Amino acid sequence: MTTNRPKIKVASVINRKYLAFRKLGEGGCGVIYEVAMVKCPGRRFACKAETTVFDEDPTLPMEHKIISKLNEKNSIHCVELIDKGQSDNYQFIVMTLLGPSLDAIRATLPTNKFSTFSTLVMGIQALDSIKEIHDIGFVHRDVKPANFAIGALGTPKQRLVHVLDFGISRQYLVKDGENGGLRIRKPRRIVPFRGTLRYCSVAAQERKEQGRHDDLWSLFYMIVEFVKGSLPWTGIMEEEKVIVMKEDVTELFNGLESECAMFAQHLSVLRYQTNPDYALLRDLLMNIFVRRNFNAQMKVDWEKGGRYESHFEKKTSTLPVVIEKDMTEVDLSKLLNVPQNERNITMEEIIAAGKTTEEEGLNTAQDDTIVEDENGFLGKQEAKPATPSARSETSKKVKRRYIARTPSAHKIEQIEKNWKKKEEEANKEKLLKNARAARRAKEDFIVPEDNTVQKRKLESTQLSSAVSTKSTRSIGKKILPPKSFELH
């Protein structure tokens, strides 16, 4: 990953229009700042900048493209794109300045988890925002709490959840050259990992093409973490062990509402090309909302009157207090559209969505990258047709279903054995390195007149004598080289 970042500092002026006030965050090759308009300092925005010297593919063009499309659809769960531009070594976009991310809010809570009411308010809005992304033909591929944020604290929009960071999103709907309509992009044979290990689906870990259901798996893990405070695999970095723990749902479902298991069951029958039943998933969450007698007038955890309001009191700041705030009202009842009664959802309805007759071919090329200009799609790289054997193999793979099971003792034992083996090899290498260093310390270098270096090992007795002689000569006088050194 490149170490080149945009050369932006606090108080610097961006594009002669925006003044950088404070850094909000940074990534591998980009930074995001809170900025103010030079001509109107009271108006604040977020500016995301990315270097134009890349070691990896740029992410800002994808970010700009998706935000623009969501703005065209008047999405309330997306930031508003204000401006874009380019400087000497970076390009940037300016957008709505939001409040803290859901991840930052959760880290502030003393229990590290949200109330059930707040979890449902966030989960339902996050589901709606993900559907909006899917509706314009993209999958997010990095759904996690850090990529959702509320509006500014102390304003009505602090109840509104926004989806962020589309840098590694991918287009799954493309124009069909034959009939001019849209088709689902064929899954690739070679897929690099994209996402975050804690929240990504098992399929993403297995390097399979991510579809709409993979975003929803990440949302599901988010909701579970909000309710329970952590996931069983939190802090574990070994992918094999995380896969095993994600497939063992016993601990994951413990203490959760039955609707959560039904939510996961619906996702388990979906495939890359299958359209998720968003309304069904929303109704599952709404059933919990109605059964718990929640209502839209209740307070979320971080607002005044909420469970943890004391942790979000307004703090002093060195920034001017002339910041203009968006005080547009947010009607939570219209946002959530809470039904009067629970909906009766059967297991047959949960499973039915996975029964599809669509043929799911495999793109045997590494990618089928779309070539695009401002007028639309011009074409794509030609992918070699899949052989009959490849289609057969793919057909077998797509029939794989997520099965709730406890991992075998043999599988866990094998994983543990591999870890121990790696650890032993690392320790062995460390011991060998120390031994080589010790041997080098016992070597004597003689520099002859012809400037060539000859290496000679000292006998252990000579080395001891040399050290002893050096020690005695260093007392009260200038240190002289020991007799065992021959200087020419």
The model's pLDDT over 23-40, given as tens digits with 9 standing for 90+, comes to 898 876 688 999 999 888
For the chain, the distance separating the N- and C-terminal CA atoms, rounded to the nearest angstrom, is 51
Q: 87-101, 105-119, 266-280, 454-468: which has the minimum mean pLDDT?
A: 454-468
> Which carries the bigger pLDDT value, residue 480 or residue 276?
276
Average pLDDT over residues 344-348: 91
Beta carbons within 10 angstroms of residue 32's beta carbon: 21
Per the DSSP assignment, residues forming a β-bridge with 170 are: 139
> Which carries the bigger pLDDT value, residue 421 or residue 456?
421
pLDDT at res. 421: 76
pLDDT at res. 235: 93
Strands, DSSP E only, in 153-307?
A: 161-163, 170-171, 173-175, 182-184
Quick check: 462 pLDDT over 80?
A: no
pLDDT at res. 467: 46
Distances (CA, A) of 298 to 151, 295, 333: 18, 6, 10
pLDDT at res. 365: 46
* Cβ contact 165:26 at 8 Å: no
Average pLDDT over residues 392-404: 40
* Selection from 359, 56, 364 nearest residue 190 by Cα: 364
pTM of the model: 0.74
> Which carries the bigger pLDDT value, residue 422 or residue 242?
242
pLDDT at res. 127: 98
Beta carbons within 10 angstroms of residue 84's beta carbon: 17
Domain 102-373+384-407 has CATH 3.40.1010.10: no
Phi and psi of 469, rounded to 5°? Answer: -65, -40
Catalytic residue positions, numbered:
142
Average pLDDT over residues 407-433: 68
Quick check: 457 pLDDT over 50?
A: no
> Which carries the bigger pLDDT value, residue 21 or residue 7?
21
pLDDT at res. 195: 94
pLDDT at res. 430: 76
Average pLDDT over residues 408-430: 67
Domain locations along the chain: 13-96, 102-373+384-407, 409-441, 443-488
* Percent of the chain residues topping a pLDDT of 70: 71
> Which carries the bigger pLDDT value, residue 262 or residue 396?
262
Q: What is the mean pLDDT of the chain?
A: 79
Domain 13-96 has CATH 3.40.1280.10: no
- Residue found under tokens 């968003």: 278
CA-to-CA distance for 173 and 337, rounded, in angstroms? Answer: 29
Q: pLDDT band at residue 383, thresholds of 50, 70 and 90?
A: very low
CA-to-CA distance for 53 and 58, rounded, in angstroms? Answer: 9
Quick check: 321 pLDDT over 70?
A: no
Quick check: 486 pLDDT over 70?
A: no
CA-to-CA distance for 211 and 215, rounded, in angstroms? Answer: 7
Average pLDDT over residues 336-341: 93
- How many Å is the Cα radius of gyration of the chain? 30
Which helix (H) or strand (E) segment holds residue 281: the answer is helix 278-291
CA-to-CA distance for 105 and 154, rounded, in angstroms? Answer: 14
Quick check: 319 pLDDT over 50?
A: no
DSSP strand pairing (170-171 vs 161-163): unpaired
